[in-house]
Amino acid sequence: MPPAATPPEGIYLRDLYDPRRRISREYFPAFALLLGVTPIMIFFGVPTVLSVLANKRPGDGLLFGHEPMAIAPYFFTPLFVAHGYVLVVVSINRMRAAGKSPGWLLVPGYNLWLLFTAPDSA
Q: Average pLDDT, whole number, for the chain?
A: 81
Total count of residues recorded for the chain: 122
Confidence of residue 39 (pLDDT cuts 50, 70, 90): very high
Q: Supply the pLDDT for residue 81.
A: 94
Residue among 63, 82, 60 at smallest CA distance from 72:
63
Average pLDDT over residues 43-67: 72
Q: Structure pTM?
A: 0.75
Classify 44 as helix, strand or coil.
helix
Residue 65 dihedral angles phi and psi, to the nearest 5°? 80, 10
Q: Is pLDDT larger for residue 55 or for residue 92?
A: 92
pLDDT tens digits along 63-110: 666 677 777 788 889 999 999 999 999 988 888 888 888 888 888 888
pLDDT at residue 1 tops 60: no
User: Contact at 8 Å (CB) between 19 and 93?
Assistant: yes
pLDDT tens digits along 22-38: 888 888 888 888 888 99
Classify 63 as helix, strand or coil.
strand
Q: Report in angstroms the alpha-carbon separations of 50 from 12, 58, 76.
A: 29, 14, 12
